[in-house]
Amino acid sequence: MSTTSQAAERASGSSFYRGMRILPRAEREAMFEIYSFCRAVDDIADDPGPREPRRGQLQAWRSDIDAIYHGAPPPHLLGLAQAVRTFDLNREDFMAVIDGMEMDVLADIRAPDRATLDLYCDRVACAVGRLSVRVFGMGREAGLALAHHLGRALQLTNILRDLDEDASLGRLYLPRDVLRDAGIETAEPAAVLAHPALGQACAAIVTLARADFRDANAIMAKSPRRVVRAPRIMGEAYRAILDKLVARGFAPPRMPVRHSRVKLLLIVLRNLV
């Protein structure tokens, strides 16, 4: 199986996959390669094993990315190297993603201050957006702005969706100022998730996410429709998840929120017409 086929297969189980399949072939294959890279380093961050070996694995990824930019890509990254050449992807954005994953490896993030949360979102989400908008062919200014706002909106939605999953890993991404404003003084994940004021804290993150979705939509409304179809699909899918989370509420028991295949297909079709 080619490296490109492997990257596409890795993406096939995600909501991301349907949004990317509508792209022209070169863009689609590049996005699958970017997604495969992100999944690989994310799997390292979420591995429950010892921290030092995982830091070593992330360092190996830094060496592999450097090898691509030095013209000597490892055989398993030939597809990613092709994407880098075709779309002039920035090395710094790949490194930012790795740095973001390393934040989870160095220590379990618990109730970070706002600056740390902003840095984390920029690295694990907005940097992916910066790679993606180059593939989509957006202009520099609009592309960077979209990567910032849509990346943050998606990551904040992920934080709210994955509260219980993250807590099982000892993590809590709700910022400490939001917890304090809600009257929650602890940063211990299980205690925060059982606190009666959790919904108030989550509501503050919902407000932030919705503001970023609005800003992202305003940018996409001014952009050629053909270059923002994929991000529009991702934005619409995640906005719907956010709405479902709000409707479900944040008090236990929190049933998982996800889209059916039919819902995702309808979102894709609506953005193709």
What is the residue-wise DSSP string for 49-100? S-HHHHHHHHHHHHHHHHHHHTT---GGGHHHHHHHHHHT--HHHHHHHHHH
Taking CA atoms, 17 is separated from 10, 29, 139, 234, in Å, by 9, 11, 24, 10
Boundary of a domain, candidates 85, 107, 129? 107
Q: Are residues 138 and 103 in the same domain?
A: no
Residue 1 has pLDDT above 50, yes or no: no
Alpha-carbon 109 to chain mean position: 17
Residue 259 has pLDDT above 80, yes or no: no
pLDDT at 20: 79
CB-based burial, 209-235: b 16+ in 10 Å, e otherwise: bbebbebbbebbeebeeebbbbbbbbb
Residue 268 has pLDDT above 80, yes or no: no
pLDDT at 5: 52
> How open is the CA angle 91-128-116, to the nearest 5 degrees?
95
CA 130 to CA 167: how far, in whole Å? 29
Write out pLDDT tens, residues 12-58: 455 566 667 888 999 999 999 999 999 999 999 999 999 999 999 99
Residue 263 has pLDDT above 80, yes or no: no
CATH number, position 151: 1.10.600.10
Residue 8 has pLDDT above 60, yes or no: no
Tally of domains within the chain: 2
Residue 107 has pLDDT above 50, yes or no: yes
Residue 26 sits in which domain range?
1-107
Boundary of a domain, candidates 107, 125, 154? 107
pLDDT at 127: 98
Give the pLDDT mean for 244-257.
95
Q: Are residues 40 and 145 in the same domain?
A: no
Place of tokens 């030092």: 52
Write out pLDDT tens, residues 159-176: 999 999 999 999 999 999
pLDDT at 261: 67
pLDDT at 18: 63
Predicted structure pTM score: 0.91
Boundary of a domain, candidates 68, 85, 107? 107
Give the pLDDT mean for 233-251.
95
CA 31 to CA 80: how far, in whole Å? 9
